[in-house]
Amino acid sequence: MAKDPKDNSGLDLAARIDALSPRRLSYLTGAFIVVLALLLVFEINDKAQSRKIETELRLEQAASDGASAMNIAIMTGAPARDVLMSVSPGGYSAVYHLSPNGDVLNAAGRSDIVQIPAASLRGLDLTSRGQGRLDLASGRIAGAWRPLDNGEVLLTAAPARDMYDRSQAWIIYAVILVALSVVIISLMAAFIRQSRAAANAAHALTTLNDFQAALAGGRCSPWFYEKHDRKVAFSQQFLEPLGLGARDRRFTLREISALVHPSDLRTAIAVFCGEPSGVSEGLVRLRDPGGRWVRTYMRTAPDATRFERAGVAFDLSGAKSIAPGAAIAETRLRDAIESIPEAFVLWDANGRLAIWNKRFASTFRIPGKVLKPGFTIDQVSTCAGAGGDILNEHFGPIEIEEPETLEVGLPGSRWAHVSRRRTAEGGCVCVAANVTDLKRRASAQKKKERELQQTVEDLEGSRRDLSETMQKYQYEKYRAEDANRSKSEFLANMSHELRTPLNAINGFSEVMQSELYGPLGDDKYKEYIGDILASGKHLLELIDDILDMSKIEAGRLTLEPKKVELEKLLSESTRLVAKRAADAGVTLTTSVGHAPPVWADTRAVKQVTLNLLSNAIKFTPRGGEVTLTAEADLDGVTIIVADSGSGIERAQLKKLGSPFELAESHFAKANAGSGLGLALSKSLMEMQGGILAIASQPGKGTVACATFPRRKDAKVRLPQFVRKEAYSLTGETPTPNFKITQAAE
């Protein structure tokens, strides 16, 4: 049967496969990777920019929070370094406490990494809040600064690129790009291999069609020797032209002996049965129904065994010479089919098995001796050791004219790309390429994509949680500040409520003590009245201190700075505490005749002086001595109160100046107070631009110094003799902070 010239589907398929050349696929892969790299470059830039913005925002937030905390620390006397460490934003950031002229007073955080030269700090406008970047030798530094209430500055700084010094964004994305590139290149290489395999199959199919046409045109056919019943099978294509039948037939050796020319019988038996003569091919003449001898050519493999023999028979009738080209072509065709790496099977026009290769048989675990040409699809499925239903559905003949291509799951968790099409003679050819590795890579790629998507979703969730945490922090901070204001207002109001009945108690106690309306009778009542009056006065002093402290915290204390005659005011203060000193058995000595005027609030100066004198008298044992002197320089005047008490440990001095804090000594416990005297004095001195400092040695006594400015905006300092030993409660150079309000008590 000649080949239909219009049947060129195999050629078209081969042409389409050839169009997908490896070079073109390589160009497409390279273009895709370049586009992906560009997208990752844009993402890297966005990531780097977001880290810079995050650094700036955290530095600004830390500067604002730190400025508020430092202002409170300055008022309460808390250590500045502890405050700096508490407001540090973390990472490779540093927090600096600067003087008004840019000198570093304290630092916390990674100041060893973020080192800013003094010249760079002085170049910043530190008088107002701001932010910026500094180009230093160690790299670019981002900073944010906030001026404090006393004129000092709090500055936060960190590397401008990323305050947490996280790994470069490009490293992560470079790894992602390399991984994706490897996967894409691997998939593309697999696709190229698959395309080449499909091209080989398409070309093999074309070759098979050509060989089938050649076999039909040359009237040749394969033959098979069945040893168990000693019969030789021939196909219709070979027998019909010879007039020996219009169907496939099997001949016994007796029938073969009757058909073969006596001279050629030995050759025929040797080729068919594998006799010891070793003949594997030769010319054999057969008798046709008319009695004529028809020349044929029989051939088998030289190494064929006696148990399994097959070969090709050529009809040489009409040939001028023995030229078995078709037999040679079929032999080459079978070799080509066996060399195909894919499973291959060919069905004839009647839907029966014609040709297959070993890969097809091994795919479905079919023993090689079981399959025979002429089997139907049901018989082949029955022989299959695994996947018979798959073979029956996807590997058998098809009825439709259009080719069919699909992916099919095979036994053993394998996948194949199956292609089926009809042949020119009406049969069907089926080729199955193994795509298991490709499917597994695609599945792994999808799994990685899902994991990457999950990672992105987790990061988004973490970002939302962080945002919610920041909002909660701001809300709780607002509540704490509001509660602090409410506490101060409550203390101020309650102090007023307590003062009214205490004034009445003290007034009536004084009337009864003076026996204004006649004698009381027993002397014991006078003693009790004295105790009531003393307790009431002590409680009134305590409430007055609480009221003043609450006013300061609530921002309602009013000071009126002016020129104050210090000598007169100190003399009045001495007279007020003289009786208390005499009752305590303490000698009070005063030497203030040379004290010049100061710029301060009269009531505040008097209250500070009385607090220092009262503390000295209270903590000096009977028989001790308390002295009051004054020392002046060009900028300020220092009031010096010295006592011969038990003194205070250096570690305990740091607790002084905080509300309700007392130094732990036996005198403090014996003369318990509220602890507000020094805290109130400290706040008053800070508001007037003065200095409050204490120097003490256990067993020798204590020296308290209060330095007031002699003129407005003067910078004061402690006297030289006490400067090294004294512990400053207010700082060395506080800034005046007079606050004038209209709030009524």
Residues 6 or more apart whose CB falls under 8 angstroms from that of 234 comprise 221, 223, 244, 248, 249, 250, 251, 313
Residues 6 or more apart whose CB falls under 8 angstroms from that of 408 comprise 390, 394, 415, 416, 418, 432
The whole-number pLDDT of residue 486 equals 65
The whole-number pLDDT of residue 661 equals 53
Tell me what the mean pLDDT of segment 721-744 comes to. Answer: 62
Contact 231, 251 (CB under 8 A): yes
**Torsion angle defined by CA atoms of residues 342, 343, 347 and 353, in that order, rounded to the nearest 10 degrees:** 150
Assess whether pLDDT exceeds 50 at residue 738. no
DSSP 8-class letter at 736? P
The whole-number pLDDT of residue 526 equals 67
Contact 220, 237 (CB under 8 A): yes
Positive or negative CA dihedral for 273, 278, 280, 281? negative
Assess whether pLDDT exceeds 90 at residue 11. no
**What is the per-residue pLDDT across 648-681, written as a single tens digit (0 to 9) for each?**
888 788 777 666 555 444 344 344 444 567 888 8
Q: What residues does 344 pair with on adjacent strands? A: 431
Assess whether pLDDT exceeds 90 at residue 224. no
The whole-number pLDDT of residue 323 equals 46
The tokens for 7 are 């049947």
Which three-class secondary structure state does DSSP give residue 84? helix
Q: CA 151 to CA 133: how far, in whole Å? A: 23
- The Cα-based distances of 61 to 56, 155, 710 in angstroms read 9, 11, 39
Q: CA 54 to CA 163: how far, in whole Å? A: 9
The whole-number pLDDT of residue 656 equals 78
Q: CA 538 to CA 547: how far, in whole Å? A: 14
- The Cα-based distances of 136 to 105, 114, 141, 592 in angstroms read 21, 10, 7, 55
- List helix spans (H) across 619-743: 650-653, 666-670, 676-687, 720-723
**In the block, which residue shows the tokens 């203060």?**
573
Q: Cα(first)–Cα(last) distance of the chain, in Å?
A: 123
| Lowest-pLDDT range of 44-53, 129-138, 175-184, 218-227 | 218-227
- The Cα-based distances of 476 to 61, 468, 480 in angstroms read 16, 12, 6
DSSP 287-330: E-TTS-EEEEEEEE-TT--SSSEEEEEEE-TT-SS---HHHHHH
| Lowest-pLDDT range of 119-123, 157-161, 654-658, 740-744 | 740-744
**In the block, which residue shows the tokens 């500040």?**
481
What angle is formed at CA 333 by the lines to CA 260 and CA 345, rounded to 5 degrees?
Answer: 100
Contact 408, 363 (CB under 8 A): no
The whole-number pLDDT of residue 312 equals 82
In one-letter notation, the amino acid at residue 264 is D
Rounded percentage of the chain residues whose pLDDT exceeds 90: 11
Where does the pLDDT of residue 639 fall: very low under 50, low under 70, confident under 90, or very high at 90 and above? very high
Give the strand order in the sheet containing 293-300: 249-252, 231-234, 220-226, 309-315, 293-300, 281-287
Within 10 angstroms of residue 621's Cβ, the number of other Cβ atoms is 14
Tell me what the mean pLDDT of segment 241-253 comes to. Answer: 80
Within 10 angstroms of residue 174's Cβ, the number of other Cβ atoms is 14
Contact 723, 705 (CB under 8 A): no
Give the range with max mean pLDDT: 18-32, 384-398, 657-671. 384-398
The whole-number pLDDT of residue 131 equals 84
Round the average pLDDT of the chain to a whole number and report it: 78
The whole-number pLDDT of residue 5 equals 41
Contact 636, 690 (CB under 8 A): yes
The whole-number pLDDT of residue 643 equals 94
Rounded percentage of the chain residues whose pLDDT exceeds 70: 80
Q: What's the length of the chain? A: 745
**What is the per-residue pLDDT across 257-311, written as a single tens digit (0 to 9) for each?**
888 888 888 888 888 887 666 677 888 888 888 788 888 888 887 767 766 788 8
| Lowest-pLDDT range of 30-39, 247-256, 479-488 | 479-488
CA 596 to chain centre: 67
**What is the per-residue pLDDT across 492-527, written as a single tens digit (0 to 9) for each?**
666 655 666 667 677 777 777 777 666 766 666 666
Q: What residues does 287 pair with on adjacent strands? A: 293
Q: By C-alpha distance, which of 359, 367, 321, 355 is closest to 339?
A: 359
Phi, psi of 62, deg, nearest 5: -65, -40
